[in-house]
Amino acid sequence: MKAIQFESDTFPTSAGDLTLTFIGHGSLMLDFKGKVIHIDPYTRIADYSLLPKADLIFLTHEHSDHLDPRALEHIQTGVTTLVMTEACARQLKGGIVMKNGETRVVDGIPVETVPAYNRVHLRENGQPYHPKGEGNGYILTFGKTRLYIAGDTENIPEMMDLKDIDIAFLPMNLPYTMTSQMAAEAALGFKPRALYPYHFSSTKTADLERLLAGSGIDVRIRKMA
Protein backbone atom coordinates (compact mmCIF):
# COMPACT_ATOMS: atom_id res chain seq x y z
CA MET A 1 0.00 0.00 0.00
CA LYS A 2 1.42 3.35 -1.01
CA ALA A 3 1.78 6.18 1.46
CA ILE A 4 -0.79 8.92 0.92
CA GLN A 5 -1.12 12.45 2.16
CA PHE A 6 -3.79 12.71 4.83
CA GLU A 7 -5.78 15.83 5.61
CA SER A 8 -5.12 17.48 8.97
CA ASP A 9 -6.36 20.41 11.05
CA THR A 10 -4.54 22.21 13.85
CA PHE A 11 -6.23 23.76 16.89
CA PRO A 12 -4.40 26.10 19.27
CA THR A 13 -4.90 25.13 22.92
CA SER A 14 -3.84 26.81 26.14
CA ALA A 15 -1.01 24.25 26.39
CA GLY A 16 0.16 24.15 22.77
CA ASP A 17 -1.07 23.18 19.32
CA LEU A 18 -3.17 20.05 18.77
CA THR A 19 -3.01 18.58 15.27
CA LEU A 20 -5.69 16.14 14.11
CA THR A 21 -4.86 13.87 11.18
CA PHE A 22 -7.78 12.16 9.45
CA ILE A 23 -6.67 8.66 8.50
CA GLY A 24 -10.12 7.37 7.54
CA HIS A 25 -12.91 5.06 8.74
CA GLY A 26 -12.72 5.31 12.57
CA SER A 27 -8.96 5.95 12.60
CA LEU A 28 -7.38 9.21 13.71
CA MET A 29 -3.90 10.39 14.63
CA LEU A 30 -3.27 13.27 17.03
CA ASP A 31 -0.10 15.20 17.69
CA PHE A 32 0.17 17.28 20.83
CA LYS A 33 3.53 18.88 21.60
CA GLY A 34 5.33 16.00 19.89
CA LYS A 35 3.25 13.28 21.58
CA VAL A 36 1.67 10.99 18.93
CA ILE A 37 -1.74 9.49 19.73
CA HIS A 38 -3.44 6.92 17.52
CA ILE A 39 -7.16 6.15 17.69
CA ASP A 40 -8.46 2.77 16.43
CA PRO A 41 -5.66 2.14 13.88
CA TYR A 42 -6.82 -0.04 10.95
CA THR A 43 -4.53 -1.44 8.25
CA ARG A 44 -7.21 -1.65 5.55
CA ILE A 45 -7.19 2.12 5.23
CA ALA A 46 -3.53 3.00 5.81
CA ASP A 47 -0.06 1.50 5.82
CA TYR A 48 0.82 1.94 9.48
CA SER A 49 4.41 0.92 8.85
CA LEU A 50 4.78 4.37 7.27
CA LEU A 51 3.09 6.34 10.07
CA PRO A 52 4.70 7.72 13.24
CA LYS A 53 5.09 5.39 16.20
CA ALA A 54 2.55 5.85 18.97
CA ASP A 55 3.15 7.31 22.40
CA LEU A 56 -0.50 6.58 23.18
CA ILE A 57 -3.15 4.38 21.54
CA PHE A 58 -6.87 4.43 22.32
CA LEU A 59 -9.16 1.57 21.28
CA THR A 60 -12.90 2.22 21.46
CA HIS A 61 -14.01 -1.42 21.19
CA GLU A 62 -13.03 -4.89 20.04
CA HIS A 63 -14.47 -5.09 16.51
CA SER A 64 -11.80 -5.94 13.93
CA ASP A 65 -11.98 -2.55 12.18
CA HIS A 66 -11.13 -0.87 15.50
CA LEU A 67 -8.88 -3.44 17.13
CA ASP A 68 -6.42 -4.47 14.42
CA PRO A 69 -3.36 -6.36 15.75
CA ARG A 70 -1.44 -5.81 12.49
CA ALA A 71 -1.77 -2.05 12.81
CA LEU A 72 -0.78 -2.16 16.46
CA GLU A 73 2.38 -4.12 15.65
CA HIS A 74 3.55 -1.31 13.36
CA ILE A 75 3.05 1.60 15.75
CA GLN A 76 3.63 0.15 19.22
CA THR A 77 7.01 0.46 20.90
CA GLY A 78 8.26 -0.70 24.26
CA VAL A 79 7.01 2.52 25.84
CA THR A 80 3.67 2.94 24.06
CA THR A 81 0.70 3.27 26.41
CA LEU A 82 -2.44 1.41 25.27
CA VAL A 83 -5.87 2.38 26.62
CA MET A 84 -8.74 0.01 25.87
CA THR A 85 -11.96 -1.67 26.97
CA GLU A 86 -12.33 -4.90 28.90
CA ALA A 87 -13.34 -6.74 25.70
CA CYS A 88 -10.17 -5.49 23.97
CA ALA A 89 -8.09 -6.66 26.92
CA ARG A 90 -9.29 -10.21 26.33
CA GLN A 91 -7.41 -10.11 23.02
CA LEU A 92 -4.40 -7.98 23.95
CA LYS A 93 -1.84 -8.08 26.73
CA GLY A 94 -0.77 -5.09 28.73
CA GLY A 95 -2.25 -1.65 28.66
CA ILE A 96 -4.80 0.26 30.72
CA VAL A 97 -8.41 -0.92 30.88
CA MET A 98 -11.03 1.80 31.35
CA LYS A 99 -14.74 1.18 31.90
CA ASN A 100 -17.59 3.53 31.03
CA GLY A 101 -17.64 6.60 33.26
CA GLU A 102 -14.05 6.39 34.49
CA THR A 103 -11.62 9.29 34.61
CA ARG A 104 -7.85 9.23 34.95
CA VAL A 105 -4.74 11.00 33.72
CA VAL A 106 -2.79 9.01 31.13
CA ASP A 107 0.69 10.22 30.18
CA GLY A 108 -0.25 13.70 31.38
CA ILE A 109 -3.55 13.82 29.45
CA PRO A 110 -6.85 13.83 31.37
CA VAL A 111 -9.09 11.07 29.96
CA GLU A 112 -12.80 10.48 30.55
CA THR A 113 -14.72 7.51 29.16
CA VAL A 114 -18.25 7.86 27.80
CA PRO A 115 -20.56 4.92 27.00
CA ALA A 116 -20.90 3.95 23.33
CA TYR A 117 -23.79 1.71 22.33
CA ASN A 118 -26.89 1.11 20.19
CA ARG A 119 -30.52 1.43 21.22
CA VAL A 120 -32.22 1.48 17.82
CA HIS A 121 -30.05 -0.37 15.30
CA LEU A 122 -30.09 -4.08 16.03
CA ARG A 123 -28.90 -7.32 14.45
CA GLU A 124 -31.40 -9.78 13.02
CA ASN A 125 -31.40 -11.66 16.32
CA GLY A 126 -32.47 -8.50 18.15
CA GLN A 127 -29.09 -7.84 19.75
CA PRO A 128 -27.57 -4.35 19.37
CA TYR A 129 -24.55 -4.01 17.11
CA HIS A 130 -22.77 -2.41 20.06
CA PRO A 131 -24.15 -3.51 23.44
CA LYS A 132 -24.29 -1.08 26.33
CA GLY A 133 -21.30 -1.25 28.66
CA GLU A 134 -18.82 -2.70 26.19
CA GLY A 135 -17.57 0.22 24.06
CA ASN A 136 -15.91 3.47 25.07
CA GLY A 137 -16.03 6.97 23.77
CA TYR A 138 -13.14 9.09 25.02
CA ILE A 139 -12.87 12.72 26.09
CA LEU A 140 -9.25 13.86 25.98
CA THR A 141 -8.30 17.23 27.44
CA PHE A 142 -5.40 19.24 26.01
CA GLY A 143 -4.82 22.34 28.10
CA LYS A 144 -8.38 23.68 28.26
CA THR A 145 -9.50 22.09 24.97
CA ARG A 146 -11.79 19.07 25.28
CA LEU A 147 -11.89 16.56 22.42
CA TYR A 148 -14.65 13.93 22.28
CA ILE A 149 -14.20 10.81 20.13
CA ALA A 150 -17.52 8.98 20.33
CA GLY A 151 -16.59 5.53 19.05
CA ASP A 152 -19.35 3.36 17.57
CA THR A 153 -22.54 4.64 19.13
CA GLU A 154 -25.93 6.20 18.59
CA ASN A 155 -27.17 9.48 20.08
CA ILE A 156 -27.44 8.04 23.56
CA PRO A 157 -28.80 9.94 26.60
CA GLU A 158 -25.31 10.15 28.13
CA MET A 159 -24.28 12.54 25.36
CA MET A 160 -26.75 15.10 26.67
CA ASP A 161 -24.69 15.32 29.86
CA LEU A 162 -21.46 16.24 28.07
CA LYS A 163 -20.12 19.67 28.98
CA ASP A 164 -17.70 22.10 27.34
CA ILE A 165 -16.79 19.95 24.34
CA ASP A 166 -14.67 21.93 21.90
CA ILE A 167 -14.15 19.26 19.21
CA ALA A 168 -16.31 16.20 18.59
CA PHE A 169 -16.17 13.18 16.29
CA LEU A 170 -19.54 11.47 15.75
CA PRO A 171 -19.97 8.28 13.65
CA MET A 172 -22.60 7.97 10.91
CA ASN A 173 -22.06 4.54 9.35
CA LEU A 174 -25.38 2.77 8.90
CA PRO A 175 -26.78 0.49 10.11
CA TYR A 176 -24.18 0.30 12.87
CA THR A 177 -24.25 3.78 14.38
CA MET A 178 -26.11 7.03 13.61
CA THR A 179 -28.21 8.53 10.88
CA SER A 180 -27.52 12.16 9.99
CA GLN A 181 -30.60 13.11 12.02
CA MET A 182 -29.29 11.26 15.08
CA ALA A 183 -25.88 12.91 14.79
CA ALA A 184 -27.50 16.33 14.44
CA GLU A 185 -29.69 15.75 17.51
CA ALA A 186 -26.64 14.69 19.50
CA ALA A 187 -24.65 17.72 18.41
CA LEU A 188 -27.49 20.11 19.22
CA GLY A 189 -27.69 18.51 22.66
CA PHE A 190 -24.09 19.09 23.78
CA LYS A 191 -23.07 21.75 21.21
CA PRO A 192 -19.41 21.19 20.38
CA ARG A 193 -17.55 24.11 18.90
CA ALA A 194 -16.35 22.01 15.95
CA LEU A 195 -17.98 18.79 14.75
CA TYR A 196 -16.47 16.14 12.50
CA PRO A 197 -18.63 13.32 11.20
CA TYR A 198 -16.42 10.25 10.89
CA HIS A 199 -16.64 6.57 10.03
CA PHE A 200 -19.55 7.59 7.78
CA SER A 201 -19.35 5.04 4.95
CA SER A 202 -21.99 6.01 2.34
CA THR A 203 -24.03 8.28 4.65
CA LYS A 204 -24.43 11.72 3.09
CA THR A 205 -22.53 14.23 5.17
CA ALA A 206 -24.32 17.06 3.33
CA ASP A 207 -27.46 16.11 5.27
CA LEU A 208 -25.68 16.78 8.55
CA GLU A 209 -24.49 20.16 7.29
CA ARG A 210 -28.06 21.04 6.30
CA LEU A 211 -29.53 19.93 9.62
CA LEU A 212 -27.00 21.98 11.61
CA ALA A 213 -27.04 25.08 9.42
CA GLY A 214 -27.41 28.17 11.60
CA SER A 215 -26.69 26.24 14.82
CA GLY A 216 -23.34 27.91 15.41
CA ILE A 217 -21.61 24.50 15.27
CA ASP A 218 -18.68 24.42 12.86
CA VAL A 219 -19.35 21.24 10.84
CA ARG A 220 -16.13 20.10 9.18
CA ILE A 221 -16.21 17.37 6.54
CA ARG A 222 -12.99 15.43 5.97
CA LYS A 223 -12.13 12.18 4.20
CA MET A 224 -13.29 9.79 6.89
CA ALA A 225 -15.52 7.33 4.96
CA 28, CA 37: separation in Å to the nearest integer? 8
For the whole model, what pTM was predicted? 0.95
Domain ranges of the chain: 7-219
- DSSP label at residue 211: H
- HSE toward the beta carbon, residue 125, CA cutoff 13 A: 2
Nearest to 134 by CA among 184, 61, 49, 208: 61
CA 46, CA 163: separation in Å to the nearest integer? 33
- The pLDDT value given to residue 1: 36
Give the strand pairing for 56-58 and 81-84.
Answer: parallel
- The pLDDT value given to residue 116: 97
Q: What residues have CB less than 8 Å from 210, skipping those under 6 apart?
A: none
Digit-by-digit pLDDT tens for the chain (225 residues) are 344 589 999 999 999 999 999 999 999 999 999 999 999 999 999 999 999 999 999 999 999 999 999 999 999 999 999 999 999 999 998 899 999 999 999 999 999 999 999 998 878 887 888 899 999 999 999 999 999 999 999 999 999 999 999 999 999 988 899 999 999 999 999 999 999 999 998 888 999 999 999 999 999 999 886
Specify the CATH architecture of the domain 7-219.
Answer: 4-Layer Sandwich (3.60)
